[in-house]
Amino acid sequence: MGVSRAPVVSLAPGVHRLPTLGDYINSYAFVNDDGSVTLIDCGIKRAPAKIVAGLAAFGKHPGDVQQIILTHAHSDHAGGSADMVKRTGVAGVTVHVDEVPFVETGEAPPRDTSTRLGAMFAKVPFGGFARSDVVQQLHDGDLLPVGGGLRIMHTPGHSPGHISLKHESTGILITGDAIWNMRSKMTWPTKAGCTSFKQNVQTAQVLGEVEYAIAAFTHGPEIRDNAREAVRGFLRKAAAKGR
């Protein structure tokens, strides 16, 4: 399949997807009313150069970033965070309260040991990243003053403090890793990569209940047409399969 080379994909005025490894790993940027930028996720260790190029594509500089939010503390999302903190000059990152210990130590959350692969991963140091200070702790339901309001939804399972986000004014949902859309096909994240796969499946149901127009993913391209119906269809099918 073709890998997107675009440094940035516009989802709405002031809302941009920043592909950091083709469409396989995405960051997001929200431009606030005062021109400052809120960045969501920092990709792998090498991603910051891509993120900076993405910001430049809509006329922004790392110094414009005033907040960095991480959906969760895995190395494909937090791997570039320490570097981005340095480049932007922010004091640290913003994460859900249950993700704080992992971000502060740079250790990945525990893996689901109910699968053989997960049990194996759990024994080896895997997925660590350079630590960052946490400047703000998030809770379920928080509404951040980001370009018209960014709602925090705690969707634990992939990791204990995993979050999804909904931008209220544009109706854009960012699922985080609760649902993947790799190769434009919705799937669950790999079991072995989750802290509790079962909990991921349960908590993702909320993504079928809220209202939005566009579904955006940290892994894979966005869905612009009938996004909510597509997500609901995926969740319904997954529930019918009993997992």
Q: How many Å apart are CA 176 and CA 31, to the nearest integer? A: 19
> Toward Zn ion, which CB reaches closer, 99 or 177?
177
Q: Which residues form the interface with Zn ion (CB under 5 A)?
A: 76, 177
Phi, psi of 164 (to 5 degrees): -110, 160
Rounded least distance, CB 215 to Zn ion, Å: 16
Rounded least distance, CB 5 to Zn ion, Å: 21
> Toward Zn ion, which CB reaches closer, 31 or 40?
40
> Toward Zn ion, which CB reaches closer, 83 or 147?
83
Are 152 and 96 within 8 A, CB to CB?
Answer: yes
Are 161 and 73 within 8 A, CB to CB?
Answer: yes
> Toward Zn ion, which CB reaches closer, 16 or 158?
158
DSSP H helices, 27-74, are: 48-57
Rounded least distance, CB 74 to Zn ion, Å: 5
Rounded least distance, CB 108 to Zn ion, Å: 11
DSSP state letters, 224-235: -SSHHHHHHHHH
> Toward Zn ion, which CB reaches closer, 31 or 84?
84
> Toward Zn ion, which CB reaches closer, 108 or 152?
108
| Strand intervals (E) in the chain | 9-12, 15-19, 26-31, 37-40, 65-69, 93-96, 134-138, 143-144, 150-154, 163-167, 172-174, 214-216
CB atoms within 10 A of CB 171: 15
Rounded least distance, CB 55 to Zn ion, Å: 21
- Residue 150 Cα distances to 38, 110, 121, angstroms: 10, 28, 34
Rounded least distance, CB 20 to Zn ion, Å: 11
Which residue(s) pair with 17 in the sheet? 9, 28
